[in-house]
A and B are shown apart, each in its own frame.
Chain A
Amino acid sequence: MARIAPTLLMAGSLTLASACATYYHTQADFNREFERGDLNRALEALQRRDQHEHGRNKFLYLVNNGLVLSVMGKYRESNEYFEKAYLFGEDYHKDYINEVASYWTNPMVTVYRGEDHEHLMVLYYKALNFLKMEKYEQALVECRRLNIRLQELSDKYKSPEKYRRDAFIHTLMGIIYQAMQDYNNAFIAYRNAFEIYEDDYARLFSLRAPEQLQYDLLNTAWWTGLHQEYEYYKERFGLEEYTPKRPEAELVFFWHNGLSPVKEEWSIDFAIHTRQGKDVLFVNEAMGLNFAFTLDDDDDRSRLSGLSIYRVAFPRYRERPVFYRGAHLQYEGQRYPLETAEDLNRIAIHSLRERMMLEFSKGLLRAALKKATEMSLRKEDVTLGALIGVVNAITEHADTRNWQTLPHTISYARIPLREGDNEVDFVLYEPAGGEYRHHFKYRATRNQTLFHTFSSLESMDSPYRSAW
């Protein structure tokens, strides 16, 4: 039995070690094809791992499938995956057995729940897919779901420093309601979006309300008959001369620029200090970090303090800077700039930073438990204890999972179209100063709002150039 145990432990540690490369690296084949822009091969690589649909990375498997299929223009199939991802978020319950296991291994063994902004983006893509299929009623259903998700988000956090309100999602809801000629709800959504841009986004993400939002807010106020509100915002925006106009048709163009940040791992060494009473302090003086744990057992305290240094792994984001500096649409001699409405890169980094203290506490508790287990076993069996020490070292890793195919930033523009055929140029600004031009044709019926999404998958990190 004594010999079997180390063998089993070794096998177990090898299995766990496979969960220990960063998530980005475990998906290398998919990421390579996706970043290179070969979506068919990216999808093949993704679907080769269809067992992930039922595993701990289920959410990521579903949203990656949904996103790739959406970029490929397979909107119906894409929404099948996004619907499953939405239901996953609805039905998610913490698996406490897995959570406990993660304290003896690493958090990558738990089911990935998804970040707050990722769950909103599921519904964003789903609504857009419906709009492109001209299934407006279904897009409105997603709008209502988004509203519920936004309410849940604002109820979840109290601190104004947290990402607790999403201005872009309110803007999107306004755009959908406006496309459905529900101007009253569109106005409410735009007004909420504007306040959030001014109150939260300017302060947390250095992002002000897009100019287009101001015009949309004024238009919908006027068309709803909210003349008091119309006059108030006209003065507030300094647009006293503006008069709402209804074009024959419209195009709302979303530009998904670059790729969201990738979580990677970093480690901190902590020294252990015991002090009077029952507290044990984990200290990293260079970073000014100081965490106290209370241990009742004198032996445990002395055992932990006997280990001078602990290495604990934590997640952090690495930005993938965008390749294109900006873009505009050109239509009938007019330029319409693509205005940034959502900076997913900053939202992701900010959200993780805001919960870093929690991450530190969880990581240190994990380290303390692992070391305490090792020391207890050493007392009974030195070999087994040493082996556990090796396993602990191998398995000490941070949770590096996130939805990595999301864009870095989302920009949009609304342009008036004529009933019938229209030709529009989309012009991207390259870093060296050049321009990259795409030409699109649109056929619009009267009062129709067309939707187009353009994804630039390039980032400064990527050697490949690709765009849809």
Chain B
Amino acid sequence: MLSRTLLLFTSIALVSCARTVTRVSPDTQIDLSGRWNDTDSRRVADQMIYDLFNSSDFKEYARALNRKPVIIVGNILNRTSEHIDADNYIRRLEVVIHNSKVADLVESSEFRDALRRERAEQQDFADPATVKQFGKELGADLMLFGEMTSEIDDYNNRRVVNYITTLFLTDIETNRRVWYGQHEIKKYIRN
């Protein structure tokens, strides 16, 4: 017994347990826990951009405006039980909207306050020739906001989660909903 046990333990001891790290392409789908991850963020962003650009309502709105609409990104409510950072896909949406030249973006409240502080300080400290003026901010036509919800069904170490992301693009002046996009990601997880 002793010799066999020793052999077994020695074999275990020789098994290497060093950590390995491999770089993979950012668009590789890797699902480990079944929770919301980068693949989900990317899918939501890609689908929502596609929906937005193909929306006849949005195209019509831009045509009627006779210029590029100006969009501000508002709040994305998270009603799920996970701490999901909506910024991950919202930033992706912003990048594509900006690069597509379909619309102009203005800063959200998060950065706008910092810009206003900077402008206020310029009045006192900057060279008068370079001071930026108040009252020249570009006013947004549309606000993008939305919410994320999840429905969970859990039984015997099996779980189904349906993540629903809903985004609205609403006319700030009239409250008219110009575009409405919804994307679902359903996962079946077996433990």
Contact = CB atoms under 8 A, between A and B. Distances in A.
Interface of A: 91, 93-94, 96-97, 99-100, 103, 144, 147, 151, 155, 158, 173, 184-185, 188-189, 191-192, 224-226, 229, 295-297, 300, 369, 372-373, 376
B81 A184 contact: no
Given A94-B17, A300-B2, A372-B2, A225 B77 contact: yes
B130 interface: no
A141 B17 CA distance: 28
B78 A185 contact: yes
Contacts of B80: 188
A102 to B, nearest CB: 11
Contacts of A158: 157, 191
Give the secondary structure class of A's interface: helix
For this complex, into which size category does the number of interface residues on chain B fall? 20 to 34
B13 interface: yes
A100 B13 contact: yes
B63 interface: no
Contact of B1 (A147, A188, A189, A295): A295
B82 interface: yes
B174 interface: no
B35 interface: yes
A154 B19 CA distance: 23
B83 interface: yes
Contacts of B79: 226, 229
A191 B78 CA distance: 12
A361 B82 CA distance: 38
A285 to B, nearest CB: 25
Interface in B1-54: 1-2, 4-5, 9-10, 12-13, 15, 17-19, 33, 35
B157 A369 contact: no
A223 to B, nearest CB: 12
A155 B33 contact: yes
Contacts of B35: 151
Nearest to A365: B5
Contacts of B15: 96
Contact of B2 (A94, A99, A147, A373): A373
Closest 10 CB pairs of A and B: A300-B1, A96-B13, A100-B9, A93-B17, A97-B13, A297-B1, A372-B2, A96-B12, A376-B2, A184-B78
